[in-house]
Amino acid sequence: MAPGVAAPEASSPQPRGYSIPLVDLAGETHRQVVVDREPGQYLGHPTTVLLEDQKTIIIVYPKGHGRGAIVMRRSSDGGLTWSDRLPTPDNWATSKETPTIHRVVDPKGVKRLILFSGLYPIRMAVSQSDGHAWTPLEPIGDFGGIVTMSAVERLRDGRYLALFHDDGRFIADRGERSSFKVYRTLSKDGGLTWSAPRVIATHPTAHLCEPGMVRSPDGKQLAVLLRENSRKQNSHVIYSDDEGATWSEPLELPGALTGDRHVGRYAPDGRLFMTFRDTTLESPTRGDWVGWVGVYDDIRHRREGQYRVRLMDNHKGGDCCYPGLELLPGGAFVTTTYGHWVEGEQPFIVSVRLKLEELDARAKRARTP
């Protein structure tokens, strides 16, 4: 246990499946909006950012499986309609990995969008015009990583904490595969420069990666949910009570929260909606795009939560998700990702809209798996 971190409840065996209700939205096409689709072209791994007007959403994703030229589109109506593909710097076509996009604000109040592209070295592009113009991708340091930066959080002192993982191959030039490690890096200047990475999580048997971060409602704790890439254990979680300076040891989560690339937002009533690829070891929706509804304390105490949601049915193994998730005025969630939504065709990008109050009554009637 790292010093300064409150000890979580003692580790105990976690269920491989789940007993909470499952609400199925996969067939409700009125909720679905096609963001981009190109016959014969793999489109995948998107992330989104919602601007301060609470209606403009920018999405980025690669033309290819986790790598390829970065595509950018914009919605000015909360994801109901989308622009054509927008111009981007020439070297965005050289992206080697999944891009991620984030809003940051520096100590002087200057707002920026920053976009990361991983493997060695990690590169970043910057926009100070809400995405209308961008710098080319440039290295942020002499280090690399995978799915960079999967999570970025503003700390109480104004710095930014960013998380990524690596398996030894890309953290340094010409690296070799070794154990999975989760890294943090810090920015003091609103995302323009980043510190050397530091390991915050590793495990003797679990392959922990793709950190997804959520802050407790009182602001005092950070929780990071982690994919388990060996597919032998559930997802794990670590906690920090000191703004990311120290972290607890990883603990296994229940099956209900097991998945890849967790992204979460709070609903107006204080509940938490998280979305991810379902990799639960015993689940009727394994490999599909799912959501989870609960409260932060369910994560803190490793409880199953309130209910799960199947958002869409993926028709090829577990090749889907890496979702963006935004909360609009009025309490509507817009979550956006890729998947093999039509059997036998290449994956494409779709968003789904929902409100928790629409699903609550259905969850009471739903059968458990």
Given this model, what pLDDT does residue 74 score? 98
In the chain, where are the structural domains located?
22-365
Given this model, what pLDDT does residue 9 score? 54
CB-CB contact of 245 with 186 (8 Å)? no
Confidence check: pLDDT of 110 > 50: yes
Number of residues that make up the chain: 369
Q: How does pLDDT run across 258-308, given as a tens digit for each residue?
A: 999 999 999 999 999 999 999 999 999 999 999 999 999 999 999 999 999
Given this model, what pLDDT does residue 148 score? 97
Q: Which two tokens stand for residue 101?
A: 């996009």
How far is the C-alpha of 34 from the C-alpha of 337, rounded, in Å? Answer: 10
How far is the C-alpha of 209 from the C-alpha of 167, rounded, in Å? Answer: 9
Mean pLDDT calculated for residue range 61-72: 96
Mean pLDDT calculated for residue range 337-347: 97
Percentage of residues in the chain with pLDDT exceeding 90?
95
The CATH number of 22-365, from 3.40.50.620, 3.90.550.10, 3.40.50.720, 2.120.10.10, is: 2.120.10.10
Task: Give me the DSSP letters along 93-151.
Answer: GG--S--EEEEEE-TT--EEEEEEE-SSSPEEEEESSTTSS-PPPEE-SS---EEEEEE
